[in-house]
């Protein structure tokens, strides 16, 4: 039976020659409980990614201690004296773990154009391929995150900004985030694009004519808007600004409507061709 040596913190303990960075990190963590297992420390076999992350962490901490590369408190909007804290596990580490690249697929279009249908079908298809996704649906977000916002122009701007910030966090986590919402104003979508690194924001335009969307009217909102019971409805009494340089256009012409499977294949092919489905 293996002999386990438990040593209390602060007491004399057996010397361990040339401990690895992973062992140092392990010792630090077990100090919380007051002892560590020497035999288990000797048997640790840290993976390469962990060693690289630990090395980066030590270098950053050394720089801070020596007075180099110190971050300054900053002011962002109404927040003052805030400091960005850099983590030792970064986006590349998370992407390597998930074997995919984090990004935001932003599906925009009129109500009834099929945004949510595409989002769900796309999420399912990627799930079957072993890829981690998350859908940020416009209506769903208004049940919680944006429940305090109306459909006035200024609240719509804030609605898009908040969802853009959350989508950015998902992408940074290595997740393929699928945002599906009308997002009618071009400048707001462009603002969300600017939050992410170049190429990580994939705008998908559901190019479906207004008359087709109105004929579908899955929520009955076009009828209410025509009757004047819903004000500021996109396409009726509020404008929709189509993208000018989006990555993907899914267009319906006349009665020729692509199937959800065909649309999913178009988006998945784009992701595959651009390296998002591998680390």
Digit-coded pLDDT (tens) for 77-99: 788 888 888 899 999 999 999 99
DSSP code for 33: G
Read off the pLDDT band of 76 (50, 70, 90). Answer: confident
pLDDT: is 214 or 31 the higher one? Answer: 214
| Residue 103, strand partner residues | 176
pLDDT digit string (tens) for 170-217? 999 999 999 999 999 999 999 999 999 999 999 999 999 999 999 999
CA-angle at 109, arms to 107 and 112, nearest 5°: 110
Task: Please tell me the predicted confidence (pLDDT) of residue 71.
Answer: 57
pLDDT digit string (tens) for 99-123? 999 999 999 999 999 999 999 999 9
Task: Please tell me the predicted confidence (pLDDT) of residue 39.
Answer: 42
Residues whose CB is less than 8 angstroms from the CB of residue 54 and which lie 6 or more positions away in sequence, other chains included? 21, 22, 24, 25, 46, 88
Catalytic member of 29, 39, 183, 269 = 183
Domain ranges in the chain with CATH number 3.40.50.300 = 91-273
39 is catalytic: no
Whole-prediction pTM value?
A: 0.74
Question: Which fold does the domain 91-273 belong to in CATH?
Answer: Rossmann fold (3.40.50)
Question: Region 216-235: what's the mean pLDDT?
Answer: 95
């Amino acid at each position: 039976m293996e002999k386990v040596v438990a040593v209390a913190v602060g007491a004399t303990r057996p010397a361990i020659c040339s401990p690895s960075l992973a062992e140092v990190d392990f010792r630090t963590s077990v100090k919380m409980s007051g002892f560590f297992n020497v035999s288990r420390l000797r048997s640790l076999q840290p993976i390469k990614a962990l060693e690289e992350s630990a090395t980066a962490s030590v270098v950053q901490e050394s720089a801070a201690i020596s007075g180099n590369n110190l971050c300054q408190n900053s002011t962002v909007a109404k927040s003052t004296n805030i400091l960005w804290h850099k983590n030792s596990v970064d986006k590349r580490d998370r992407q390597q773990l998930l074997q995919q690249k984090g990004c935001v697929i932003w599906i925009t279009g009129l109500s009834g154009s099929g945004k949510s249908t595409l989002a769900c079908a796309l999420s399912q298809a990627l799930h079957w391929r072993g890829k981690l996704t998350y859908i940020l649906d416009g209506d769903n977000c208004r049940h919680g995150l944006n429940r305090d916002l109306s459909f006035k122009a200024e609240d719509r701007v804030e609605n898009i900004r908040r969802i853009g910030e959350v989508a950015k966090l998902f992408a940074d986590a290595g997740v393929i985030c699928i945002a599906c919402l009308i997002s009618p104003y071009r400048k707001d979508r462009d603002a969300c694009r600017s939050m992410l690194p170049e190429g990580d924001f994939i705008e998908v335009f559901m190019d479906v004519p207004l008359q087709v969307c109105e004929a579908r009217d899955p929520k009955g909102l076009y009828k209410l808007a025509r009757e004047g019971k819903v004000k500021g409805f996109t396409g009726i009494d509020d404008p929709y600004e189509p993208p000018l340089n989006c990555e993907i256009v899914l267009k319906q012409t006349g009665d020729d409507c692509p199937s959800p499977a065909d649309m999913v294949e178009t988006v998945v092919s784009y992701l595959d061709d651009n390296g998002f489905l591998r680390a």
